[in-house]
Amino acid sequence: MAAPVVTATAGTPRRAGAGRSGAVVRPYLYLAPATIVLVVVFGYPVLRLLVESVTVPGILGETGHGLDNFRSVIDDPILRRALLNNLRLFLAVPVMTVVAVLLATLLHERIAGWRFYQSIVFVPYVLAIPVVGIIFSYVLQRHGLLNQSLGALGLDPLVHDWLGSSQLAIWSVWVVIVWQQVGFGVVLFLARLSSLDPGLIEAAMVDRAGWWRRFRHVVLPHLAPIIEFFVTLSLINMLSWVFNYVYVMTGGGPARSTYVTELVIYQQAFRDGLPNLAAAVSVILLVLATVLLSAQSLVRRRIERMES
């Protein structure tokens, strides 16, 4: 008996084409709800922020004034001091990165008591920032625990008003931020090192490579993508996430020496009743954060080219 002959119909190519079109469109349909949420939650506030940054309240309502708000805030010496303090806090990032990488490397080598040390390093990060700020505001004040300990040890020349000095206050906040945030980097780097092939370390040891050579030629290249991520995230945090430390520990004092951009935005919006100027400062902060993210993207592409 002859096998039946199947002939293609005219509708078959159209159904195949429709299937391919559906396969192309379907992922975007899955992404549509999340995209709508992002546009509503983030897109509209950013648009509203841009509008308010170029308007000022008047008798007949808000009127456009172009870049007048930006000229006012840029000419404000308080904002310039706040930006300078943010740049000073940027210096904490390389310190945190180096300390976190070294600690993570040592803990990865399973030194004696490594689990205990890992917990001790990470505990500060899980503490609430207001709690940390209040504790250190008592430790670092003129008659606080630190100065009492230094006096008891006969180190009176090292006794200072750490939070009451306009020269030392921002650096005291700097030290507290490093102390708390370094644990996050240690956990990130440890997670990355857990995927490192032990054979690479063993091969380096067979070749009689010392600890420093193993660290430089094996560990650091493996950690490069995470170091890039941690540095970028930390820089953005130092630019737009240090309000709690400053507000709790110093309140911006003494003599406004510890002002940061977030504190300027808060006081202009809620204390001085100038939301449009606060919006202008927020736009400046947004632009700086965007520049950092763009730089991070360039560094990421360079690292990917090196790995490939």
Per-residue model confidence as pLDDT tens for the chain (308 residues) = 455 555 545 445 555 555 666 677 888 888 888 889 888 888 888 888 888 888 876 555 556 667 888 888 889 999 999 999 999 999 999 999 999 999 999 888 877 777 788 888 888 999 999 999 999 999 998 888 899 999 999 888 889 989 998 999 999 999 999 999 999 999 999 999 988 888 888 888 887 778 888 888 888 888 988 998 899 889 988 988 899 999 999 999 898 899 999 999 999 888 888 888 899 999 999 998 888 888 888 877 877 777 66
Q: What is the CA radius of gyration of the chain?
A: 27
Nearest to 300 by CA among 207, 245, 233: 233
Q: If we measure between CA atoms, which residue out of 56, 70, 190, 66 comes closest to residue 121?
A: 190
- Residues 6 or more apart in contact with residue 177 via CB below 8 angstroms: 89, 92, 238, 242, 245
Q: What is the DSSP letter of 251?
A: T
∠ CA 146-151-156, rounded to 5°:
105
How much is the pTM?
A: 0.82
Choose which CATH entry (1.10.3720.10, 3.30.1300.10, 1.10.510.10, 3.20.20.70) describes domain 69-307.
1.10.3720.10
Domain residue ranges in the chain: 69-307
Tell which residue, 196, 30, 235, 44, has the closest CA to residue 105. Answer: 196
